[in-house]
Every structure is written in structure tokens, then in C-alpha cells.
Homo-oligomer: A and B are copies of this chain.
């Protein structure tokens, strides 16, 4: 993000800085705040903080994530209701636990809300609470506490969600990290990409009234128009109500099938870049594996959007991308097909060694530029050509005429 004075400010740089300085302030590499309670935070670079401090009887790790949603940055009251927002902010945090293969446990909700003509603080807080409780109930999370206060400016919701790693087939209970990808791994995508971004574009174009873009009379529509309408409603729904893939990730982590895992909150290219960086590997995606789903394809044809652009960089899908050996990949595909038949799964590329791919790598010093992954990621086009997906490279790829 760029602030008003034109300085570049990256979230990743800030968190890097925070962790490095916190560690430095303690004067040690691996931090123990107590004799009894060893604490070794793994981070930055993963979706959750990982603490070895608790549940030592079971050898599990405690996971903690904290994601904020800030008005007009992450959501707009123009097209989300309080209950939908409450559900979504939990989904975003649940997805971080899913991205470590973990099991969510306890939530703490912080709300700073401003009353308005359209919605009073009471209406907002009750609606948000309903949404939070609905998500907690669905994913067996206990809402353990919170803080709520007035806001003089916009609305702001902060969730802290704890979880625990799950024991794998060897009895180890280690979280699945971003740093475990090895050359030769397949890249596996769980869930769909691009729909949330398409839904947001539709909301920005048409707004939302009632139950998503309903026409005056359904009777006037022929079946093709109805199908289009349905497609639009579905992608909008993907944006408004993402489904965190918690049980799927947990199942695969228990079976020790994943070498690395991340959730796709900032777009596939950017998020896979984190795995490349943390695992010190490169990746080649296959365009053939990145076909849009039926609704997304239809929406993109209708509005002339490049679906690959949305798939590679759309963000906010809360799909999961992981890497696994070839043998594990076959088991993953089989498990997903049998146990989660409604969740899309696809092999979308492969992990290669850094040296196999040209391009400049960032330094590992945790500087603000440190999340650049130029050259680490490329795509094998349907034509057979391999094109580098540099930080913004896919823009050119998506529309070579620009």
C-alpha cells in the first residue's frame, strides 16, 4: 500500500520488522519467556504465529492468528450486511488456521463501531455478533471474549483466533508451514480462484440490492439470462461469504500429505511467492490447470474480462494452495474426491529448484522489498511457452497489448 505522502508501506515488511525486532529485543534467536514455557514463534512468513508453549502433553503446537477488517479497505457497507461481515471476518481468520493444517479453537472479537443513519451501533454489533457466532458454531470454535467500543471514524473489526496443530500419522503435531516445499512437488489447489474478485467487480459496477442483483421480474428472463443471473449471484456470494477450507486442510495434514500450505488471500501469484521465498524454491504453473469454473467463465465472457488475470491475482478467495510429493498428490486427489466431492481440487503446477529458473531473488534480510519474488514463479502457457510471472508480470501476460 502507498500512504498519502507517497511512501511505500508493505504489510509484510512491517511484520518482518516487528518479529525481527521483537526477537532482537529479547537478545536471543529462539525465545523462551519462561523456564517452563518455551516459546518459539515461527514467523513472519506463515499465516499464524506458531507457539510451542502449550499442550505439551500432546506434542501439539498452538496457532494464533489475528486478522483485521477495516471499513472501506476490506469491506463496504454498500454491499455487505453486519451478519455477513461477522461471518466473513471469522472466515478470513479460520482460513489462516486452515492454511497451517490446524484445528481452530477459541476466538476473541474486537469491534470499534460508529453509528450512522443507516445502521446504529446496536444493529451493527448485533448483526456482526450473529455472523461471528454462526461461523464459530459451524467450525466448532468457542467465542471466549472480546472488547467493543465506539469509533469516531470508520468501523473496524479485529479477530484473534487460536488453534492447534493436528497430530499426523507419525504422531507428530507440527503445523504445515510455507517453508516445506521441495523441488519435484506438485502444486495443488483446493477451492476455486477468481470468483471473489469477479464478485467484487460486479458489486462495484452494479451495487447490491436485496438478494444480489435481482431483476424486476424473473418471469421476463429466458433461461440463458437466468443462468447468467445465477452465475452473477454465485460469484458475488463467493466474495461475500468465503468458505474456509478447514476440514479439508486438517484431513490432509493428519495424513501427512502436505509439504507446504498457504491460503490465497492476496492472489495466487503473490501467495505462492511466499512459499517460493520461504522454501527457497521456484514454481512453474500450468495454464491448463487454471481453467475458470463455469460461472467465472460465463461472467468473464459476458463482461470481456480475462479470467486468467482474476485467477492469478484476484485474491480474497480463501482457497488453499499446497505442495506435495507425487505419491502424496495421488492420495490427496483420491481423498478429496471421496470425502470432499464438492470442493474443487486441481494440480496446477510443479515446484522446481531455484537454480532451474532465471531471475533475480530478493535478499533474505527481511527488508520492505523482501516479499518480491521476481523470477521465482513462471507459467507454462497452453502454447507451451514458459513466461515469467514477475510481481506484476501477469498483467502484461493477461493483456499483451497494454
Measured CB to CB, the residues of A under 8 A from B are 1, 3-5, 7, 9, 11, 14-15, 17-19, 21-22, 25-26, 31, 33-34, 36-37, 39, 41, 43-44, 48-49, 51, 53-58, 62, 64-68, 70-74, 105-106, 108-112, 114-117, 120-122, 125-126, 129, 133, 136-137, 140-154, 156, 158, 160, 164
Contact = CB atoms under 8 A, between A and B. Distances in A.
- The secondary-structure label for the interface of chain A is mixed
Contacts of A136: 22, 25
A24 to B, nearest CB: 9
Contacts of A57: 56-57
A39 B106 contact: yes
B145 A49 contact: yes
B120 A4 contact: yes
A33 B153 contact: no
A111 B21 CA distance: 17
Contacts of A9: 115, 120-122, 125, 150
B51 A153 contact: no
19 contacts: A1-B121, A3-B120, A4-B114, A7-B120, A9-B120, A11-B148, A14-B148, A15-B145, A15-B146, A19-B145, A26-B142, A36-B58, A37-B55, A39-B144, A68-B156, A70-B153, A110-B158, A151-B154, A156-B156
A131 to B, nearest CB: 12
Contacts of A4: 114-117, 120
Contacts of A3: 114-115, 120-122, 150
B25 A140 contact: no
Given A4-B115, A66-B109, A151-B156, 10 more contacts: A4-B114, A5-B115, A7-B120, A9-B120, A14-B148, A22-B144, A66-B160, A110-B110, A152-B154, A153-B153
Contacts of A156: 68, 70, 112, 151, 156, 158
A70 B152 contact: yes
Given A136-B25, A144-B49, A129 B54 contact: no
A149 B11 contact: yes
Contacts of A73: 112, 149-152
A274 to B, nearest CB: 15
A160 B67 CA distance: 12
A149 B110 contact: no
A14 B44 CA distance: 34
Nearest to A5: B120
A309 B11 CA distance: 44
A110 B66 contact: yes
A68 B147 contact: yes
A148 B115 contact: no
Contacts of A33: 105-106, 140-142
